[in-house]
Amino acid sequence: MDPAVEIRGVRKRYGDMTALRGVDLTVGSGEVVALIGPNGAGKTTLVRAITGTTDYDGTVRVFGASPRAVDPGRIGLLPQSFRPPERLTPRELVRAYAGLYDTAASPESVLAAVGLDDDADRRYGTLSGGQRRRTCLGLALVNDPDLLVVDEPTTGIDPAGRRRVRERLRSLADEGTTILLTTHDMDEAQRVADRVGLLADGDLVATGSPRSLVDTHAGPSRVVVDLDAGADGAGGSRTRQLETALADAPGEVTVADGTVVVGGVEPAAIGAIVDVVEAAGIDYSGLRWEEPDLEDAYVAITGDGREPTAGTDARTTAVPGGIDGSREGRRADGARGGERS
């Protein structure tokens, strides 16, 4: 089967700034591909090239044709910033958009798909941020597109709404819809995407399934011990004592900033490590096992501290008697690589 999207050597400059540096990417029919990267990475510019809304150097083919030659009814687009008339209701908006296409899904089915059955007759201006975002997603689905392009699909949506949108995206893919999305949410990419493309400074630096990228680049699982304030003792003697005590533990032991990390171990090793910590008489506020995730892979591949995440934590298991000190999510707001206002 021919791919839905083919991108070869795509470059884009805005004056002296290079937004895309020879990007190559293929998106198969029915595949979900997530583009991840911080501000200026080139995600939005690449989306614009695919949807025919910007000029570029190189080759882009959508269903075998140039983007501007494709029947608009085959593509659904949800930009990051989109604001319908606030006096209209979701039902009125969906009906209006349906009238633009020769073939369209029923308004009722669209509203149900995005969870707006009970709010379909409220004015758009009175809806919550999550309800507005779901309305806009519904508008992108009105024409029952073969290719759905969504920029930050779950921005501003509550957890229940995010789950509904993610489930809908997966069901669309199962029905044969090709989906290309940009996201700052690593967990979203891991849950929804078949493949992930990591963009950095206009380069597509890696592609692969979320699992393969994590397994190849993110490093080993680890046990993390968070020491109590003052637990180091004079000159850090307790920390050195703990490091020495753990020297025979499986994996690599590192100590930094009141935290002891034992890398390359499985959850079964936690009990033995707890015994060592307690035998050393060291007070700790948390002891947990962490599984590496897509954020770790991104940082390892790019060497970039600007993690494009919206609150994703490593998978953690807290140990009774301690606290779950899982890493606080970090955010890089926006996705405007090469974009002009």
Q: Tell me, what CATH number does 225's domain have?
A: 3.30.70.100
177 in the same domain as 269: no
Q: Give the percent of the chain with pLDDT over 70.
A: 84
Within a domain: residue 307? Answer: no
Q: Which two tokens stand for residue 267?
A: 């959850």
Q: What is the pLDDT of residue 255?
A: 74
Going across the sheet that includes 259-263, the strands are 252-256, 259-263, 222-227, 284-291, 315-318
> CA 284: distance to chain centroid?
33
255 in the same domain as 210: no
Q: Which two tokens stand for residue 225?
A: 């011990």
pTM tops 0.85, yes or no: no
Contact in structure between 239 and 317 (CB atoms under 8 Å): no
207 in the same domain as 249: no
Query: Number of folded domains in the chain?
Result: 2
Q: What is the pLDDT of residue 221?
A: 85
279 in the same domain as 177: no
Q: What is the pLDDT of residue 1?
A: 66
Rounded to whole angstroms, the Cα distance separating 341 from 329 reads 28
Residues of the chain with pLDDT under 50: 234-235, 306-307, 309-341
Q: What is the pLDDT of residue 233?
A: 53
Q: Tell me, what CATH number does 99's domain have?
A: 3.40.50.300
* Domain with 278 in it: 221-291
Within a domain: residue 281? Answer: yes
Going across the sheet that includes 195-200, the strands are 75-78, 147-151, 178-182, 32-36, 195-200, 203-208
Within a domain: residue 196? Answer: yes
Rounded to whole angstroms, the Cα distance separating 253 from 16 reads 46
Concatenate the DSSP letters of all residues of 122-182 into one string.
S-GGGS-HHHHHHHHHHHHHTT--SEEEEESTTTT--HHHHHHHHHHHHHHHHTT-EEEEE
- Measured in degrees and rounded to the nearest 5, phi and psi for residue 270 equal -60, -45
The CA radius of gyration of the chain, in Å to the nearest whole number, is: 24
Distance set, CA 186 to CA 108, 137, 315, 331, 334 (Å):
32, 20, 12, 10, 14
Phi-psi region for residue 30, left (φ > 0), alpha (ψ -120 to 50) or beta? left
Rounded to whole angstroms, the Cα distance separating 84 from 94 reads 11
> CA 223: distance to chain centroid?
25
